[in-house]
């Protein structure tokens, strides 16, 4: 029994009741996180079952692999990125994505780091080709659905991501960083740009009051830290920015959805048409 867990599904107690009933009957139960929901957000006992998050075409192939193993079948494991996009892409804008409940306020996500620029662009092109995505290319850039990779000189590279397809592009970014960001001194900067309707608290005593009791920690040197990344929240002419600087090679480990949920729920970030500016 595959239990597909979306942000809406986990609010229904019947889903867990039915999964528990199947398990009690000796049926193998496999939880699958979909539509941006991460299985790590669940509590036991369902988290004790072996499952996976369906965030790309690889997840669709995981389903086929399990069916082949369980029932001794020989179904082809040949789902591609276009098919994942056809199944999940149409609902991307309206669902809770990798950026959590407040993804509708995000204008763009950008990633920057210092590394060998030609290698970075060539790696991006190769990964895009391997996933069967259509792309437009030049010597210094490559653009695919939802992602644009580029270089600035010989050492600085970046990628701009549209929030609507992050379920597809964030795993691609992780694969990209695993190749080009393997130097111990390499640090990555990820910036979430919010739209113009969003403002942020910036006075230190008000900011620290709002994050008190959350996983966002204040270090001894006065910096904010979340999920092993240093966090900066700023305000510009185009809106508010949430910036994370980190050394690990995985963007997924930053828990971006959880971070934005905290910042909005605690009103560190707020809409200017519905809130009073601090």
pLDDT tens figures, 33-56:
887 777 877 777 887 888 998 877
CB atoms within 10 A of CB 267: 15
Summarize pLDDT for 137-146 with one digit per residue, the tens. Answer: 999 999 998 8
Res 277: pLDDT? 45
**Distance between CA atoms of 95 and 76, rounded to whole angstroms?**
30
- State the average pLDDT over residues 93-119: 81
Are 199 and 269 within 8 A, CB to CB? yes
Res 278: pLDDT? 47
Question: Which pTM does this prediction carry?
Answer: 0.66
DSSP 8-state secondary structure symbol assigned to residue 56 = S
Q: Which has more pLDDT, 57 or 106?
A: 106
Exposure pattern of 242-254 as b/e (b: 16+ CB <10 Å)? Answer: bbbebeebebeeb
Summarize pLDDT for 167-201 with one digit per residue, the tens. Answer: 778 888 988 998 887 666 678 999 999 998 899 99
From 149, 153, 147, select the one nearest 120 (Cα to Cα): 149
Place of tokens 């592009």: 169
Confidence of residue 109 (pLDDT cuts 50, 70, 90): very high
- Please enumerate in sequence order all residues whose Cβ is within 8 A of that of 24, keeping only pairs 6 or more positions apart, or say none: none
Residue 93 pLDDT > 60: no
Q: Which has more pLDDT, 62 or 44?
A: 62
- State the average pLDDT over residues 245-261: 83
Place of tokens 């270089």: 151
Summarize pLDDT for 221-245 with one digit per residue, the tens. Answer: 889 999 889 999 999 887 899 999 9
Read off the tokens for 57.
Answer: 């075409």
């Amino acid at each position: 029994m595959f239990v597909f867990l979306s942000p809406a599904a986990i609010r229904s107690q019947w889903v867990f009741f039915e999964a528990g009933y199947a398990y009690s009957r000796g049926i193998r139960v496999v939880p699958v996180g979909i539509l941006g929901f991460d299985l790590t957000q669940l509590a036991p006992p369902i988290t004790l079952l072996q499952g996976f998050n369906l965030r790309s075409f690889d997840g669709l192939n995981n389903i086929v692999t399990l069916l082949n193993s369980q029932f001794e079948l020989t179904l082809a494991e040949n789902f591609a990125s276009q098919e994942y996009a056809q199944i999940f892409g149409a609902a991307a804008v309206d669902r809770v994505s990798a950026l959590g409940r407040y993804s509708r306020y995000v204008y763009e996500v950008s990633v920057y780091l210092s590394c060998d620029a030609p290698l970075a662009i060539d790696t991006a092109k190769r990964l895009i080709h391997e996933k069967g995505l259509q792309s437009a290319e030049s010597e210094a850039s490559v653009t695919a659905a939802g992602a644009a990779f580029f270089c600035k000189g010989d050492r600085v590279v970046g990628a701009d991501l549209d929030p609507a397809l992050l379920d597809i592009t964030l795993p691609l970014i992780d694969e990209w960083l695993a190749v080009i960001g393997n130097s111990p001194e390499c640090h990555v900067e990820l910036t979430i740009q919010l739209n113009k309707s969003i403002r942020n608290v910036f006075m230190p005593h008000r900011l620290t009051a709002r994050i008190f009791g959350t996983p966002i920690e204040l270090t001894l040197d006065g910096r904010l830290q979340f999920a092993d990344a240093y966090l900066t929240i700023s305000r510009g002419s185009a809106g508010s920015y949430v910036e994370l600087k980190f050394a690990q090679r995985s963007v997924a480990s930053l828990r971006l959805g959880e971070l934005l949920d905290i910042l909005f729920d605690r009103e560190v970030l707020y809409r200017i048409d519905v809130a009073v500016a601090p």
